[in-house]
Amino acid sequence: MIATALLALSLVGAGPAVPREILVASLRGEARVPVRRDASGFPVVAAAPLLTALGGELHVDSGWADVVVARQPFRFLLGAPLFQFSSKLLPLAGPASLAGDSLYLPYQFVAEIIPYYLADQYRWDARRSRLEELRGRTTSLAGRAGAGDGARLPNGLRPGHVVTVDPGHGGVDPGNPGTFFPRGVHEKDVTLQVGLLLRDELQRRGIGVRMTRTRDTLIALGDRGGYCTEACDLFVSLHINSLARRRGYTDIRGFETYFLAEARTEDAARVAKMENDAVRFETQQDAVGTVGGLDFILKDLQLNEHLRESARLAELVQHELGGVHTGESRGVKQAGFMVLTTARRPAILVELGYSTNPQDGHFLTVRSSQKAMASSIADAVVEYLLEYERKTGANPDSGAGR
């Protein structure tokens, strides 16, 4: 579903598409600006030479960097993947940051944001890594459809959505051992691979992504949901199912999507117990605050409101996954996952398949099927958000584009 989002070329993150330098061609001549990696590996450009080349302005103060290009102000929150334009807070692939006295801006600013919001004045040539100032264009930008209140991404979504992606387990918690995975591959490795692909697919659709982890590290269960509070639309946790050894246990395969509620069936309770068991890997300090009955949490009205939304999101994900998964759809289920209890937004947990089944074991570790799963989950998220925008009146003419 959905056309390619303009704000999401494949360059975000650490793709090979990022050049070593960019060319800025303006009425003042041509300048080269090197592209570097920040501490987290995100591609960035030094703001000073960039703004000199663009004839722009730069001012850093109290945690914000104010950048003016073509008389349009962009505000970057230092250290966080967010920027403000036209009074909207929007997501970035990576943050603007200071190194010494130098400000670094995300490469995305040059390759996506300027050409999108200042399309009247700049054009980005991805093949030549060249940002070109268009001659003789002085059109005011205030009335530009892409920048005003009615701004829409090509897929119909409003810009600014953020999704938290939570690859299950990590670090000393391997998750399930991955009976039919290649040697040495555990649940934590596959959830991370699919999680990173899901990040790419969401960003391609113009959705901002926050990851609970991008490396092989342990994040306390009680902390994971905390990544999705104010500036977050929804929370997706990724896991791989497995069964204990018993007669015929390798026959069971397929995928299921959970949302948080009291477990309805014995099997759902089993899966919840298995995923909650990761708590034993956490240090005492990690565990503080993670204990707290589901009963108590379900009394939280805000969370209750999210239950119906979570169920709908789960339904869409389960449906979309059905289009690519070779195993059976085991349906939408409810269980008391600790990882979901702290999210203050609609939250789901996807069990992508069974590592204890040979076909699933293969399917889950092959890159092409990992990509297909990530893409289908991203499609479901877009569908959900479009539906949500329509329902809340945030996007009355959804689908009409901009």
Chain contacts with Zn ion (rule: CB under 5 A):
168, 175, 239, 275
Shortest distance in whole angstroms from residue 323 CB to Zn ion: 23
Question: How far apart, in Å, do the first and last CA atoms of the chain sit?
Answer: 18
Shortest distance in whole angstroms from residue 178 CB to Zn ion: 11
Shortest distance in whole angstroms from residue 135 CB to Zn ion: 56
Helix axes 187-204, 367-391, angle to 10 degrees: 50
| DSSP code for 395 | -
Shortest distance in whole angstroms from residue 322 CB to Zn ion: 21
Shortest distance in whole angstroms from residue 357 CB to Zn ion: 15
Q: How far apart are CA 56 and CA 350, in angstroms?
A: 46
- Kindly tell me which of 256 and 275 has the beta carbon lying closer to Zn ion: 275
Report yes or no: 109 and 24 within 8 Å, Cβ to Cβ: no
- Kindly tell me which of 134 and 287 has the beta carbon lying closer to Zn ion: 287
Q: How far apart are CA 245 and CA 304, in angstroms?
A: 36
User: Which tokens belong to 91?
Assistant: 């997501």
User: Which tokens belong to 96?
Assistant: 């603007």
Shortest distance in whole angstroms from residue 270 CB to Zn ion: 12
Q: How far apart are CA 144 and CA 396, in angstroms?
A: 19
Report yes or no: 233 and 162 within 8 Å, Cβ to Cβ: yes
| DSSP code for 157 | P
CA 65 distance to own-chain centroid:
24
| DSSP code for 19 | -
- Kindly tell me which of 112 and 166 has the beta carbon lying closer to Zn ion: 166
- Kindly tell me which of 170 and 206 has the beta carbon lying closer to Zn ion: 170
- For CA atoms 362, 364, 365, 366, the dihedral sign is positive
Shortest distance in whole angstroms from residue 219 CB to Zn ion: 13
What residue number has its CB nearest to Zn ion?
A: 239
Shortest distance in whole angstroms from residue 347 CB to Zn ion: 15
- Kindly tell me which of 122 and 354 has the beta carbon lying closer to Zn ion: 354
- Compute, in degrees rounded to 10, the torsion defined by CA atoms 228, 201, 218, 89: -30
- Kindly tell me which of 144 and 186 has the beta carbon lying closer to Zn ion: 186
Q: How far apart are CA 96 and CA 63, in angstroms?
A: 10
| DSSP code for 248 | T
- Kindly tell me which of 114 and 238 has the beta carbon lying closer to Zn ion: 238
Q: How far apart are CA 354 and CA 259, in angstroms?
A: 19
Q: E-strand spans in 120-230? A: 122-125, 130-133, 162-167, 208-211
- Kindly tell me which of 72 and 355 has the beta carbon lying closer to Zn ion: 355
- Kindly tell me which of 275 and 383 has the beta carbon lying closer to Zn ion: 275
Q: Which helix (H) or strand (E) holds 190?
A: helix 187-204
Give the residue from 338, 348, 307, 303 showing the smallest Cα distance to 223. Answer: 338
Shortest distance in whole angstroms from residue 258 CB to Zn ion: 11
Shortest distance in whole angstroms from residue 187 CB to Zn ion: 5
Shortest distance in whole angstroms from residue 88 CB to Zn ion: 36
- Kindly tell me which of 158 and 186 has the beta carbon lying closer to Zn ion: 186
Count other C-beta atoms under 10 Å from residue 275's C-beta: 27
- Kindly tell me which of 187 and 383 has the beta carbon lying closer to Zn ion: 187
Query: Is residue 230 classed exposed, middle or buried when 0-12, 13-18 and 19+ CB atoms within 10 A define those classes?
Result: exposed
Report yes or no: 374 and 200 within 8 Å, Cβ to Cβ: yes
